[in-house]
Amino acid sequence: QVQLVESGGDLVRPGGSLRLSCVASGFTFTDFYITWIRQAPGKGLEWLSDISRTTTTTHYEDSVKGRFSISRDNAKKSVYLQMNSLRVEDTAVYYCARGGGITRGYFDAWGQGTLVTVSS
Amino acid sequence: DIHMTQYPSSLSAAIGDRVTITCQASQDTGNSINWYQQKPGKAPEVLISDATKSQIGVPSRFWGGGSGTHFTLTISSLQSEDIATYYCQQFDTYPFTFGQGTKVEIK
């Protein structure tokens, strides 16, 4: 079955870095954009970034542009989110999701999420 | 950025009631709107894509409408398992954006 599994969440100090991973299985990985979405505790969903099937195109939400970087390794069926210069307000559950792009912009499979806590 | 205004932020309704959630986009998004359901402690699940297309496996009591800047998600007969928070999301223009959510409770 279609599955996405995130990992890499941790407690990190403000200004620190973290790399999240998302491993996919159960579908043809190269047929889909992959997207990162986060949810701060008790808050709503926030779209962060997506990456195209061939890795040539990426997009970012304004508050993470220049600090976060998305990448993918199609051979490993994996997508990564490198997060630098972390802030307290980056504390959230981070989900990876299948889907993205203007032509298929809905997310029909989600991981279980990984918790990132930014605190001193 | 396109701002999605979703309302109400919460509602309480009886089993069997018709429930409507509205999402207003700050600019024309065509039909590029999706709706998600999120139950406590779980990842969201897509209900409706492209404003009106029900996803496979979604009960027929859920349906989406609207176009342009005004969109609705309707639950025709509320069931106990529909207790959740619902979100709209636009994918017309990057960055994609979500509404702030509507929490649905049973009266």
The secondary structure of A76-117, three-state, reads: HCEEEEEECCCCHHHCEEEEEEECCCCCCCCCCEECCCEEEE
Does B107 score more than 90 pLDDT?
yes
Partner residue opposite A45 with nearest CB, options B45, B94, B98 = B98
Q: How many CB atoms within 10 Å of residue A95?
A: 24
Asked if the Cβ–Cβ distance from B95 to A112 is below 8 Å, we say: no
Q: Amino acid identity, residue A40? A: A
Distances (CA, A) of B28 to A106, B21, B33, B71, B93: 18, 19, 11, 11, 10
Q: How much is the mean pLDDT over chain B?
A: 97
> Is residue A41 within 8 angstroms of chain B, CB to CB?
no
- For chain A, the residue count is 120
DSSP for A47-80 reads: EEEEE-TTS--EEE-TTTBTTEEEEEEGGGTEEE
pLDDT at B23 over 90: yes
The predicted structure's pLDDT at residue A103: 86
Residue A112 contacts B, CB cutoff 8 Å: yes
Determine contact: A107 vs chain B, CB below 8 A: yes
Q: Look at A47 and B45 and tell me if their CB atoms are within 8 Å.
A: no
Distance from CA of B77 to the nearest CA of A (A): 24
Summarize pLDDT for B33-83 with one digit per residue, the tens. 999 999 999 999 999 999 999 999 999 999 999 999 999 999 999 999 999
Spell out where chain B has E strands: 4-7, 10-13, 19-25, 33-38, 45-49, 53-54, 62-67, 70-75, 84-90, 97-98, 102-106
Q: Check residue B1 and give its pLDDT.
A: 96
Give yes or no for residue A80 having a pLDDT over 90: yes
B99 neighbourhood in chain A, CB within 8 Å: 44
- Residue A56's pLDDT is what? 85
- A111 contact B CB<8A: yes
Q: How far is B18 from chain A (nearest CA, A)?
A: 24
What's the CA gap between B86 and A56, in Å, rounded? Answer: 32
Residue A110 confidence (pLDDT) above 90: yes
Interface test with B, best of A1, A2, A45 (most B CBs within 10 A): A45
Q: How many CB pairs under 8 A join A and B?
A: 61
Question: Which sign, positive or negative, has the C-alpha torsion B28, B30, B32, B37?
Answer: positive
CB proximity under 8 Å: A 85-104 to B: 95, 100-102
Q: What integer is the mean pLDDT of A19-24?
A: 98
Q: What is the dihedral of CA A50, A52, A57, A61, to 10 degrees?
A: -10
pLDDT band of A120, cuts 50, 70, 90? very high
Instruction: Check if the beta carbon of residue B71 is closer than 8 Å to that of residue B65.
Output: yes
Q: How confident is the model at residue A70 (pLDDT cuts 50, 70, 90)?
A: very high
pLDDT-derived band at A87 (thresholds 50, 70, 90) equals: very high
pLDDT of residue A104: 87
Query: What angle is formed at CA B42 by the lines to CA B66 and CA A66, rounded to 5 degrees?
Result: 75
For residue A72, the model assigns a pLDDT of 97
Strand pairing class (B102-106; B10-13): parallel
Of A118, A114, A111, nearest to A25 by C-alpha is A111
Which chain B residues are Cβ-neighbours of A62 within 8 angstroms?
A: 1, 95
**To the nearest 10°, the Cα dihedral for A82, A100, B38, B27?**
110
